[in-house]
Amino acid sequence: MQYVTKSEEETVALGRTLGRELMGREIKGPVLLIGNLGAGKTTLAKGIVEGAGAAIADDVSSPTFTLIHQYGAGERPVFHIDLYRLDEPREVESLGLDDLFASGALVLLEWAERFPSLLPRQRTEIRLRPLDDESREITVTGPP
């Protein structure tokens, strides 16, 4: 599926829709948020977390320095993870991602494409590409 959003608000709104869809089905692997710096990954994540019912969008922030944020609790929490500051696969392995993937939680991963050998085959990829100041092209591909 391919979408174009024309503002930050539209990107959050699309995220809400995607979050509802993701939580409405069996989760098969993580959701990779792929794009350059400033592409809108965290903005989209705000909407996904809210659409999943785990937190309001304003409470969602980039996990660049903490690496992992958990939103919600219970059966289906949402984990928002940023691997930007990690350099080595062993650093990523120490996070226990395999346990999160197996837990049934919704796992959003930013910068995971830097460590392809550590990613499960079944995953959803969301690619974000800025078109101009506010517009974004967002492409979603589901698990194989």
For the 2-141 domain, the top CATH level (class) is: alpha beta
Kindly report the CA angle at 95 between 56 and 108, in degrees rounded to 5?
35
pTM above 0.85, yes or no: yes
> Residue 71: which H helix or E strand, with range?
strand 68-71
Note down pLDDT in tens along the chain; length 144 residues.
999 999 999 999 999 999 999 988 777 789 999 999 989 999 999 999 999 999 899 999 988 888 999 999 877 899 999 999 999 999 999 999 999 998 889 999 999 999 999 999 899 999 999 998 789 999 999 864
Alpha-carbon gap, residue 18 to 5, rounded angstroms:
13
Structural domain boundaries of the chain?
2-141
